[in-house]
């Protein structure tokens, strides 16, 4: 019985060693875009300006919004033009 359990654990470990890197590669290839059907709000990109501040591009109803976060206060920098208007 211990031989079968040991073999089963080794097989499960080997499978995990193969599956986890494949899963991570698929997630990396998808990129940072996190748009789900039926959702109105999505984080498009995030850029670290320094250790405290970040510049965020948020998409809401098809329009982009730039936000500056992490300083003394969060700031809305402005709405970007709609994608169809370019």
Segment 16-60, tens digit of pLDDT:
888 888 888 877 777 655 556 677 888 899 999 998 999 999 988
Distance, in Å, from the CA atom of 8 to the CA atom of 13, rounded to the nearest integer, reads 9
Strand 63-69 to strand 54-60: parallel, antiparallel, or no bridges (unpaired)? antiparallel
pLDDT at residue 85, as a whole number = 57
Distance, in Å, from the CA atom of 2 to the CA atom of 24, rounded to the nearest integer, reads 33
pLDDT at residue 68, as a whole number = 93
Name the token pair of 56: 């965020």
Residue 71 has pLDDT above 60, yes or no: yes
> Domain limits of the chain?
1-31, 36-86
What contacts 27, CB < 8 A, 6 or more positions away?
none
């Amino acid at each position: 019985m211990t031989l079968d359990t040991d073999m089963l654990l080794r097989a499960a470990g080997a499978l995990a060693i193969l599956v986890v890197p494949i899963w991570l590669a698929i997630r990396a290839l998808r990129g940072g875009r996190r748009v789900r059907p039926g959702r109105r709000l999505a984080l498009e990109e995030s850029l670290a300006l320094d250790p405290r501040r970040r510049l965020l591009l948020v998409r809401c109803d098809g329009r982009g919004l730039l936000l500056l976060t992490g300083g003394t206060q969060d700031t809305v920098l402005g709405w970007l033009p709609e994608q169809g208007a370019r």
